[in-house]
Structure 1
């Protein structure tokens, strides 16, 4: 059955740049070699692309011919070379195609009859040519005898469409491929004009090209056709056919189907448009930089931030958008990412046309088709509001609103860090506890506003005259603390330096202060406690020592300095006795676990926190604050913590046997010292294995002091335990210092708002603000929140209204032995 005639719209022009023939080459076209040639005068020049048929015919490889075009000329007998050079020069002069019969010498010395057709590319000034070399067979006879028959037979073997027109533009030859395209026998088409097969509209677009070829002017163009509902793209050339005397005797038309490549181009363009749509839909800033650091693309969010259109951005580099330091840092980050193949992630402050902001940036290497890094695609997410919220939480939690100095919470955190470092390095340091003399009298006489002014000015002097290694804080009321680190490794020089610093501090107070219109002369009492020298000491204990020394200074008449001395050791001796008793108590089964329930917003129990209690045979119930610090300092926290873990896991097993308690979790406190122990993971695995407890019902409560040292080791341990099923809660959130820096890195499930914030949240705006901010921060990070120390319905209601879902405190139950707690919560059968 005949196919319907092809119809379509001619979209090409003689001036249009044709597609490269490279996508047709190497296809092993029978009897034909397609090529593109860059002319250089005579034999000079080079192949831009070349099919492999010539190698098959003459035994010369394509790489050899591409590297040295003269090898191709040597395949021609001398007479043929002269003929070809003459024909090419004439064609270049006329700016028209060339058609020529040639002979090529094979590697075995035999000759092959060939037919060359080539046409100059539009716009190349006849310096670039597309052509086809047809193999007409062995040169067994005179190459002119029967040439037309051999020539036409070769054309018939070609897989693309070839037609020959006479001077009246009637078809006098149609090869088999062209006949199949039109669905007609070739004999039926010969002698007729093309418009009978393609229609007058399309023929009207082609006829000027045919007429131009009759005048000796070749053309190369592309057109688009519809055939059986399918779009086809064809690459066409029309060249004059010349007689032996050089006159034009007709036109040769070649049409090669380019549809596969063009469909691939269209699919690629559609995919690129789809990707561009996704690119633009991202609200974050997205950009692409090449391997040299040059911007090549960006989305609208990036353009808006920098006030540049994409066209203005392309071609710019780091220095055009960043300050020199940021540009150098960003370039080094890119180079490292491209060298390692690993994505970079970090935070950067960027300055746009209208504003600056903090951005979380991810830069990922991009590979080209050969697997080589071609550049980086980056995504910059604006986290300015989040960072502002974090900073506000930090300010409210860690800094005194009146003086701007670190408050007690931050002081304790910094002091503990200083103590840990001094113990590790063997250095000495000192804590100076300053109490302003007669401050109450000033408040009573001049009012609290005057007292506030004095405190602010004292804080200012502490900051202005602080030396490296010193950190000042407001402890509360009229009390200030100065931490002095690195006073030396020997005790006597450290003592002398602490005495000198204390005298200097008293001198700072003696200068007049401007209170309103009055000049006020202040004085203070200072207590000094040394620390370090390889001995670990809790921060609160050191502050107690300094506070005792302050009381001695006041008792000595004020405006003086006193050091913690042996007379203050009575309490320490008592602690020593208690430590010995605790060591014995661990072996005598004197320790107990009490459980305090954790409930949801409806008062339903979710689980409990296991709290250790010590039933001393003579002292009775010893408060945790009396022996837990002792255990930390002495190292007894390790066996104590192991005992608590085993008891809690055994209770989980008992709960798992009852439907009423199977869902409950148990949280236990794990000290920093215990968690850092190298065998801690193995100990947990051993307890879970021997008891059979469900690890997913076990939660470890960690304090922020855990993050002071070896953060990567801590994160690794948490990751291993998390994989085992154990959950993590950050205890007393907001009372430490470093949590905001590492919070997003920790594999946490939960934050616990410290009871110091909950206690006064109904009366203290700062505490209320901290609670609200913490709840918002936890929500954004996907963390649960437990509020500790809930004692009143008012606190409970406030927390619920602001999004808190878990609660712990006396309002729901005090810590009790397991049986009493279960009875209180209605968990007994």
Structure 2
């Protein structure tokens, strides 16, 4: 005998009968089920059935066992009752089946006489359509009686099933509550056909009804207790949430009156809960103005909006005046509380975001200034080299997308050195501003203008043309107008100055690169100047000798890598404390020991390597050499704890297999990943935040440290810094160089240092060359530094600092 699950859950259909306990109740039930004893009119067969099948004592015993069973004993009692029924009826199987809402038929309880063949697995999923002919009878609360399976029609699905299961005759007794058929109990005869009398079937049906009612009542009680326990747990959880929430929580009724407030509500309003309950949501203590100071109409306040629309309101910013008279900015969320679709109250959370908003605004202003400095020329207000490069990339993308052709003009002021030498740099700067003003006047809408260097300007003509020839013709026409306008005299505060310009130009087409275009117009300008200046030169294939030299250099780079001509130099990172200066690590910098040109600095070949796509091969070499260096350092007590940082190019860092490369290199070299720090530029992260975050998380899992290089030169934002696992921020040297004289740089640096401290990120200042720079940065909270003030990059790792150079000496060496 076995049980799968309970017969069903829900309310009972025979509550009074099933709920009675005790001997009297059982006797009454037995009398009711057994009916009157055989009379003179009862047939001999029926009378014999009463005497030999189910006696009154059997019924009392069965009901008593089920009714009085403990909660965990109901299923065993049901199985025992089924066995008693089977034995009394001389049946071979007694099975209970449940019919689910989707029509599946599942056996829940099974009794079989010893020696009876096991029930074969069903073919397919049993469903009510396999007993379709039974369903009307069962749903009408009537038993289905099949005296002989062989007498069933061939079309009847149950005929084949019964024969397959060796069932010769069967009685199916419905289990019904209300109007729903929950299942049935099947009494099956396998050894021989047997026909139960009508009285016996009626008796069995009544007995099944009682057992079914008892089981359902017990299940209903279990469910009610489970529901009550869940409700108790939910209330405890809600209480804990309300007590520990750092947000103020309010509940308002449908009239907008406060009916609940948590502890934090007292703190944010400055009033006890007893004074809050009953207050209208229109009370100013619940917010009456926007962040900008605009008064909020009553119908625009969060509670009113939710009461009117039934919608959830998220992060509405409002202001209140707290108990101390201070203006506080709140983030308000409001949602309707519904019962069966009817709104009964509105729940609001108030979070004080005053400090966050203030910090965001301060940082946003500081970083906006940093962005202005990073992408725009402070003298003329035009794009600087970096800014115009980004615009040029956008132009290339436009050509790639639309198939059009643009043009690039490179404008070089002739004789600028003479102006500076004869009239001074102040007058020279004024001249550059006047040149910029004239160029702005000559720049049509849709074109972009930038200042690349002291006396060099770039104009991108954004008016697309169908082919390169017409784009070059348009550029030539614009260049002629520029040439004529810029050769006119300039009034520099009473001083009249005459200058000319040389202009190089080239069309911009899909497939070009920023570096290639800039080199083309540079060669064209060189050609124009070589012919005396004050003229225009378009890039021509005859100028490609220089390009051939560039290709030779690219090959030279690859040969240098094969010939092991590259070297790592180590610039120390220094921590300053009250006790002094300590070397805590190094930055690995690549150098090229060229067989003919001698030692070449990174600035002379890395930009070219970036243009030609050679940086990934260099990255692999630098990474491996750095790991080998860490392995070597592990054997020396002076260096074994020093961290080593490596710069990684943008394209390589964002590649899908970069993390695998790092892991493989660490495994092959045996380097300690905790001592390896990878530096990536801010632009790398911003170009593809999703890929950058995925790679950074993989590297962090290996134990590496991640540093954000050149911070402040891009358009930084709190949002991406909070989302990315950055360990170190490196202040770009451009902010440190003019630190003493540039007030704006100090403001930016204070913002960056404060940002790092707020985010719990370490900070390193690059390019420290003077004691004044060091002292100012230290006073502002920076503790780790790099720069020539301490030591220049060296092929041997410096582990201790000797006497430091004077500021004048450091500046002279630079």
When normalised by structure 2's length, the TM-score is 0.54
- Give the match's secondary structure for 2:739: coil
User: Using the alignment, how far apart are the partners of 2:686 and 2:433 within structure 1?
Assistant: 30
Q: Contact 2:397–2:510 (CA<8 Å) still a contact in 1? A: no
Return the match for 2:412 from 435, 458, 462: 435
Aligned to 2:264: 275
Q: Contact 2:319–2:330 (CA<8 Å) still a contact in 1? A: no
> Does 1:473 find its partner at 2:456?
no
User: Using the alignment, how far apart are the partners of 1:387 and 1:733 within structure 2?
Assistant: 14
User: Using the alignment, how far apart are the partners of 1:712 and 1:647 within structure 2?
Assistant: 29
Q: Contact 2:442–2:482 (CA<8 Å) still a contact in 1? A: no
> Does 1:407 find its partner at 2:411?
no
Q: Contact 1:707–1:738 (CA<8 Å) still a contact in 2? A: no
User: Using the alignment, how far apart are the partners of 2:430 and 2:418 within structure 1?
Assistant: 14
> Does 1:633 find its partner at 2:617?
no
Return the match for 1:394 from 349, 355, 371: 371
Return the match for 1:699 from 655, 667, 677: 677
Cα gap change, 1:532/1:727 in structure 2, threshold over 3 Å: closer, same or farther?
farther
Residues 520-571 of structure 1: per-residue CA shift (max 9 Å, x gap): 8765322224555314343xx7545434433433343433222334454444
- Tell me how far 1:604 sits from its aligned partner: 0.8
> Does 1:678 find its partner at 2:656?
yes
Alignment of 1:135-150 (within 5 A): none
> Does 1:494 find its partner at 2:476?
no
- Give the match's secondary structure for 1:604: strand
> Does 1:642 find its partner at 2:620?
yes
Aligned to 2:482: 505
Aligned to 1:754: 732
> Does 1:580 find its partner at 2:555?
yes
- Give the match's secondary structure for 2:261: helix
User: Using the alignment, how far apart are the partners of 2:340 and 2:534 within structure 1?
Assistant: 75
- Tell me how far 1:598 sits from its aligned partner: 0.8
User: Using the alignment, how far apart are the partners of 1:643 and 1:461 within structure 2?
Assistant: 49
User: Using the alignment, how far apart are the partners of 2:270 and 2:482 within structure 1?
Assistant: 60
User: Using the alignment, how far apart are the partners of 1:420 and 1:389 within structure 2?
Assistant: 31
Cα gap change, 1:454/1:811 in structure 2, threshold over 3 Å: closer, same or farther?
closer
Q: Contact 1:410–1:735 (CA<8 Å) still a contact in 2? A: no
Alignment of 1:547-696 (within 5 A): 547-566=522-541, 568-601=543-576, 602-656=580-634, 658-696=636-674
Aligned to 1:821: 797
User: Using the alignment, how far apart are the partners of 1:705 and 1:447 within structure 2?
Assistant: 37
- Tell me how far 1:572 sits from its aligned partner: 2.9
- Tell me how far 1:609 sits from its aligned partner: 0.9
User: Using the alignment, how far apart are the partners of 1:461 and 1:758 within structure 2?
Assistant: 33
User: Using the alignment, how far apart are the partners of 2:303 and 2:462 within structure 1?
Assistant: 42
> Does 1:732 find its partner at 2:721?
no
Q: Contact 2:528–2:537 (CA<8 Å) still a contact in 1? A: yes
Return the match for 2:502 from 497, 522, 525: 525
User: Using the alignment, how far apart are the partners of 1:610 and 1:548 within structure 2?
Assistant: 34
- Tell me how far 1:807 sits from its aligned partner: 1.2
Aligned to 2:767: 789
- Tell me how far 1:270 sits from its aligned partner: 11
Deviates more, 1:631-640 or 1:294-303: 294-303
Q: Contact 2:503–2:536 (CA<8 Å) still a contact in 1? A: yes
- Tell me how far 1:699 sits from its aligned partner: 1.7
Cα gap change, 1:297/1:497 in structure 2, threshold over 3 Å: closer, same or farther?
farther
- Give the match's secondary structure for 1:584: helix
Q: Contact 1:428–1:491 (CA<8 Å) still a contact in 2? A: yes
- Tell me how far 1:714 sits from its aligned partner: 2.3
- Tell me how far 1:306 sits from its aligned partner: 6.5
Residues 16-67 of structure 1: per-residue CA shift (max 9 Å, x gap): xxxxxxxxxxxxxxxxxxxxxxxxxxxxxxxxxxxx9xx999xxxxxxxxxx
Aligned to 2:690: 712
Q: Contact 1:579–1:627 (CA<8 Å) still a contact in 2? A: no
Residues 586-623 of structure 1: per-residue CA shift (max 9 Å, x gap): 33333332222111123211211112223334444333
In terms of fraction of residues, the more strand-rich structure is 1
Aligned to 2:208: none
For structure 1, the 5+ residue unaligned runs are: 1-51, 58-259, 283-293, 321-326, 354-358
User: Using the alignment, how far apart are the partners of 1:624 and 1:370 within structure 2?
Assistant: 70
Residues 648-669 of structure 1: per-residue CA shift (max 9 Å, x gap): 2233344445544343221111
Residues 364-385 of structure 1: per-residue CA shift (max 9 Å, x gap): 6757477999677565534333
User: Using the alignment, how far apart are the partners of 1:752 and 1:646 within structure 2?
Assistant: 23
User: Using the alignment, how far apart are the partners of 1:695 and 1:371 within structure 2?
Assistant: 58
Residues 223-262 of structure 1: per-residue CA shift (max 9 Å, x gap): xxxxxxxxxxxxxxxxxxxxxxxxxxxxxxxxxxxxx9xx
User: Using the alignment, how far apart are the partners of 2:293 and 2:614 within structure 1?
Assistant: 63
- Give the match's secondary structure for 1:663: coil
User: Using the alignment, how far apart are the partners of 2:262 and 2:320 within structure 1?
Assistant: 28
Aligned to 2:300: 316
Cα gap change, 1:362/1:542 in structure 2, threshold over 3 Å: closer, same or farther?
farther
Residues 266-302 of structure 1: per-residue CA shift (max 9 Å, x gap): 99999725131244379xxxxxxxxxxx987885676
Cα gap change, 1:566/1:714 in structure 2, threshold over 3 Å: closer, same or farther?
same
Cα gap change, 1:501/1:742 in structure 2, threshold over 3 Å: closer, same or farther?
farther
User: Using the alignment, how far apart are the partners of 1:709 and 1:787 within structure 2?
Assistant: 24
Computed over aligned residues only, the root mean square deviation of the Cα atoms, in angstroms, reads 4.9
User: Using the alignment, how far apart are the partners of 2:735 and 2:612 within structure 1?
Assistant: 30
Aligned to 1:132: none
User: Using the alignment, how far apart are the partners of 2:780 and 2:797 within structure 1?
Assistant: 28
Residue-pair matches, total: 529
User: Using the alignment, how far apart are the partners of 1:727 and 1:360 within structure 2?
Assistant: 37
Q: Contact 1:295–1:313 (CA<8 Å) still a contact in 2? A: no
User: Using the alignment, how far apart are the partners of 2:483 and 2:693 within structure 1?
Assistant: 45
- Tell me how far 1:717 sits from its aligned partner: 2.3
User: Using the alignment, how far apart are the partners of 1:409 and 1:469 within structure 2?
Assistant: 19
Q: Contact 2:587–2:644 (CA<8 Å) still a contact in 1? A: yes
Cα gap change, 1:553/1:617 in structure 2, threshold over 3 Å: closer, same or farther?
closer
- Tell me how far 1:637 sits from its aligned partner: 2.1
- Give the match's secondary structure for 1:757: helix
Cα gap change, 1:789/1:681 in structure 2, threshold over 3 Å: closer, same or farther?
same
Cα gap change, 1:625/1:739 in structure 2, threshold over 3 Å: closer, same or farther?
farther
